[in-house]
Each structure stands twice: as C-alpha cells, then as structure tokens.
Amino acid sequence: MTLIPPVTPAPAVAPVPALKLKANVKPRVVQGHPWVFTNEIEGLIGAEHDGTAIECRDRTGRFIGTGIYNSKSQIVWRRLSRNRITLDAAWIRGALERALARRAPGTARRLVWSESDELPGLVVDQFGDALVVQIQTLALDRMTPVISDLLAELLKPAEIIFRNDANIRRLEGLPLETHTRSGQPWAPRWVNIEGVEYWLDLESGQKTGFYLDQRAQHPLVAKFCAGKRVLDAFCNQGPFALHAARAGAAYVLGLDSSEEAIAAARRNAEHNGVKAEFVAANVFDWFNDEARSTETPWDVIVLDPPPFAKSKSALPGALRGYKELNLRALKALAPGGVLATYTCSHHMQDAELRSVLAEAAADARRRVQVLEFCHQPPDHPVLLTMPESEYLRGYIVRVE
C-alpha cells in the first residue's frame, strides 16, 4: 500500500490594503492624475499602513493602481504604478534606471523628478560629481538607505547630500534634516553649469543649490545681449547677467532683494572674469523710483521672480503683481528691445500669463511680438495628466 503524504497548504497571503473612492465625487485620479485626497475616499484604513504601498479602487471596486499611503497627509495616496507592484529595492532600482535612461548626458541636470519619474516625493539633482537628494514623502523616506545605495551604485558620485529641509516634509509628518551619505561635510565649491562656474553650497544653499530648471534659458537670452544694456531683475546668483556679460553686453545690472544672493553673484562674476554690476534692491521699488524716468532705456530686461502665487487663493493678487512688474519693464525698454519674462507658479496657466502680458502691453501702449515660448527643460518632465508638474512658463518678446 502506497502512502500519499499529506499536502501542506500554502501559507495564506494577507490581502493588500486598499482605499475606496467615494461614490458621489469625481476624483481626478480616475482621469489619470496620480493623487487622491482625503475627502475623495470613503475612509482612512489606519495609521499602521502609513508609509506603505497600498491599492486604490473606484466605487465599483475597479483597480486604479498601487500607490504610497499616508493618513497624516491631505494627499493620502500617490500612485506609483497602474499595475500591482511591491515597493521594494527592485521597484526603486527599476524606476531609477528608467529615469536615468530618459536623461540626456550632462554633469548639471535633474535626474529624478517625483511623480514624473514614478517616485513620488523624490528629487535628485546632479552637480558635477555630487548628487543632491530631496525626499518629501513618508514611504520613500523609509527607503532612504535603499535609495542611497542604489544611487551610489548606479552613478558612483563622490558624495550624496540629503537636503531633507523643505517645509513640505512637515505635511507628511517628517522631520527637517540635512546630512551626507558619508557623514562628512561637503564644502562649497565651483561647479560648471552651461559653461559658467558658480560657487555652490549644496548643503545649505537654496533648494538643491541652484535652479537647474532655468539653465537652458540663460544662453538663450544671451543671444539677444551682445552690445546691449541688460537688466537682470530677481537675479539670484546672477546666471542671466553672467551669460549676458559673457555674450558681449555693453552693460549689465543685476537686482535682487537678498544681500546674500548679490554677494554670490559678485563672486561668480569676478571668478568668471566678466563685467556685471549687482545691487541689492526691491525690484518693484526700484522700477517705481522717479529717478528711473530719466535713465537711458534698457535693450534687454529679464524678469525671473519667485512664485507670487504659492496657493490658488493667492492667484488674483499674483496676477496683479505680474502685470505691474511687466508693465514697468515694458515702459523701461527701448524700441526694439527684448523682454524675457517668466513665472514659476503652477497656479498660473499659460493663458493667464499671456493675458497679463497682453494687458501690460496695452497699458504701456507698446507693440509686442513673441520671439520664444519658454518652458521647463526635458529633465523636469511634465505629466499630461498632472497639471502641477508643469510650473515654469515664460515668453521672450520684442517690444516696439
């Protein structure tokens, strides 16, 4: 008699937790947006799942995707994938490899940009042989050692600097901190970006150390500056001014309200051997000074202000501010002059920016022609279903 051994049942697999969308709302996630807000779901599933990957389903039970969950955040769920996946080292590796494959070669560039690269809350910028990393979601913050090891393996940087000091981390219940992978300080140093060297403090400078999203605009505007009088308003570290001076501008003036930024711009100009003047001033007050009315008109003006509309409710006031600023610039330009004007607020759509410029042109009684439509570079990719991923817009115009 042959004995048949008993079959050992497979261990039970715990079901993956899932959020369910409310029946009486139309959340944007159904149309492809990667976020779900707390007021769009039937109920939270418990803080014990915070920082983990869970599923989301619509009101009929249809699978929407796998995403990261945090009951402490208003954005309670952020999609990782439309498929069923596990948030582990293999998933992180694959997402990083896909992001890197989409980038053009370079030594100063954005390598990973959050939802646009399937890694919500993760930003990675490269500055020469150093990487600067920001992590702004609980789930990926818990994966910091994995992210650090994978970036070191894939890119072999001299250092990885974690700039987890943005206030947005508080919305996820995360502390603010800055540290390096090695545990050693990373001293400020010169970094070449689009042919100009900047003294960058990657551990404590603004954002990740430099506004890489505008780097393609600097040489683009410089094409109009040879032999011209150039004003760079909101100049920060001076990149527009430095490129204009290097292109042969007759005179360059940079303005910024930050004394620290002006000092950095002066240092950069001296190091690069170009002539440009930098003055600490409130740009609105500077334009409104009666003394400006007797000055020689400018040939090129750059307006690259910080975001005036940091929330949707602030948009009406921001539109008035943008109009006033552009009106002053248009009046200060010589006939045939060039205005390069930008906004970095995702709340201001292109139609609103164009309307502001048109109103300013009408009030200034100037004829304005568009020379260039400006957008953020390809290494800051825009998700078609996520308007928030498109935030940098601008125009280069000729003013008659």
- The confidence score (pLDDT) of residue 86 equals 97
Question: In angstroms, rounded to a whole number, what is the distance separating the alpha carbons of residues 16 and 194?
Answer: 47
> What's the whole-number mean pLDDT along residues 66-78?
97
Classify each residue of 173-196 as buried b or exposed e, where b means 16 or more C-beta atoms within 10 Å of its C-beta: ebeeeeebbeeeebebeebebbeb
Give yes or no for residue 3 having a pLDDT over 70.
no
Give me the residues paired with residue 201 across strands.
none
- Reported as a single tens digit per residue, the pLDDT across 79-102 is 999 999 999 999 999 999 999 999
Confidence (pLDDT) at 348 = 87
Residue 12 pLDDT level (bands cut at 50, 70, 90): very low
pLDDT at 312: 79
Which of 312, 310, 309, 292 shows the shortest CA–CA distance to 301?
Answer: 292
pLDDT at residue 294 tops 90: no
Q: What is the mean pLDDT of residues 155-169?
A: 97
pLDDT, position 207: 80
Task: Classify domain 89-190 at the CATH topology level.
Answer: Transcription Regulator spoIIAA (3.30.750)
Residue 114 has pLDDT above 90, yes or no: yes
Fold held by 211-399: Rossmann fold (3.40.50)
Listed in sequence order, the residues at least 6 apart from 105 whose beta carbon sits closer than 8 Å to its beta carbon are none
Tokens of 397: 């115009």
Confidence of residue 293 (pLDDT cuts 50, 70, 90): confident
In this structure, what DSSP letter does residue 10 have? P
Catalytic site includes residue 235? no
- For 187-222, how does the pLDDT look when each residue is reduced to its tens digit (9 = 90+)? 999 999 999 999 999 998 878 889 999 999 999 999
Dump pLDDT digits (tens) for 139-153.
999 999 999 999 999
Q: What's the token pair of residue 206?
A: 């603004």
Compute the distance between CA of residue 327 and CA of residue 341 in angstroms, rounded to an integer: 11
> Does residue 9 register a pLDDT over 80?
no
Q: Residue 229 pairs with which residues in a beta bridge? A: 251
Catalytic residue selected from 56, 225, 235, 344: 344
Q: List phi, psi (to 5°) of 171.
A: -65, -20
Q: Is the pLDDT of residue 128 over 50?
A: yes
Domain ranges within the chain, ordered by starting residue:
18-81, 89-190, 211-399
| pLDDT tens-digit map of 369-396 | 999 999 999 999 999 999 999 999 999 9
Share of residues in the chain with pLDDT > 70 (%)? 96
Instruction: Answer whether 373's CB lies under 8 Å from 392's CB.
Output: no
pLDDT in tens, 21-57: 998 888 999 999 999 999 999 988 989 999 999 999 9
The helix or strand, by DSSP H or E, that contains position 268, with its residue range, turns out to be: helix 259-272
Query: Is the pLDDT reported for residue 6 higher than 70?
Result: no
Tokens of 97: 């490899």
Using a cut of 0.95, tell me whether the model's pTM lies above it.
Answer: no
Q: Would you tell me which CATH number, out of the four given (3.40.50.720, 3.30.750.24, 2.30.130.10, 3.40.50.300), belongs to the domain 18-81?
A: 2.30.130.10
Dihedral angle of Cα 179, 185, 187, 191, to the nearest 10 degrees? -50
Q: Which two tokens stand for residue 205?
A: 């400078």
Angle at CA 34, nearest 5°, toward 28 and 40?
Answer: 45
What strands, in cross-sheet order, belong to the sheet with 159-164? 108-113, 122-127, 130-135, 159-164, 177-180
